[in-house]
Amino acid sequence: MRLLAAAFAVGVSLAALPAGGAEIYTDHARAPVIVPPKPSDTEYELRWDNGRHGYVINFPAGTWIGNLFDTGTLTARTVKRMRFYSSGAWPNASWDGVNVGLFRFSGIPGARMWGPKFVRGSGPGYRWCEFDVDWVLPKGINRFIAAVEQIYVHPAVDPYCFDTSSTKHRGWKYYAGVWEPLQEDSNLMVRVVLEGEIGVRPISFGRVKALYY
């Protein structure tokens, strides 16, 4: 879709798209994967990515992108933390900060339920950045978008990272007042950690494993 092979070979910008589009880069190819901390016995990580860093994208300032998560088969209701894979090393050798938030979802994304909260990563290279949420999902809300907003203009940005597996079609993008499915070949590296008794119903365990393992 993007003729990525050439870009990987030279490690430079592949394309600059019009406003509302994205800039796609692959100069991170030498970066190691830094594994996030393992959740405790009372925590449960929801993720779509495979943990292997594939490429990065910068969207225009004011763009939210995030992943849809479904807790319908779980009893845990507290969103303890968000995890966002990004870099302070590129493109400007500085962590600039992003907003994070949670949005309702009922067929399409809706109103923001929590946030925005301004956060800034730390540490060298490409890595998992972890931020506290500590927020209980409202009664009746099982599906939500965990999203990150790029609030500054390139190069003062912390890039979005995507994995190396085929997309599971759970990504969403908000720009200029409109939500739309994220048109990427891979999965956004944004995760959430739930806290509490997981309480997976035996009949649903296979579905949960298919979704988040």
Q: Convert the pLDDT of each residue in 153-204 to its tens digit.
A: 999 999 999 999 999 999 999 999 999 999 999 999 999 999 887 555 444 4
Instruction: Give the dihedral of Cα atoms 156, 160, 164, 166; nearest 10 deg.
Output: -140
Whether the predicted pLDDT of 76 surpasses 90: no
pLDDT of res. 43:
84
pLDDT digits (tens, 9 = 90+) for 108-165: 999 999 999 999 999 999 999 999 999 999 999 999 999 999 999 999 999 999 999 9
Whether the predicted pLDDT of 41 surpasses 80: no
The mean of the pLDDT values for the chain is 81
pLDDT band at 24 (very low <50, low <70, confident <90, very high): low
pLDDT of res. 211:
53
pLDDT of res. 202:
42
Closest CA to 27 of 83, 92, 84: 92
Phi, psi for residue 15 in degrees, rounded to 5? -160, 155
Q: How far apart are CA 205 and CA 132, in angstroms?
A: 27
pLDDT of res. 196:
80
pLDDT of res. 72:
86
Does residue 38 or residue 73 have the better pLDDT?
A: 73
pLDDT band at 44 (very low <50, low <70, confident <90, very high): confident
Q: Which residue has the tokens 């956004």?
A: 188
pTM of the model: 0.80
pLDDT of res. 85:
97
Contact status, residue 168 vs residue 47, Cβ threshold 8 Å:
no
Sheet holding 190-195, edge to edge: 43-46, 190-195, 78-87, 126-136
Does residue 4 or residue 117 have the better pLDDT?
A: 117
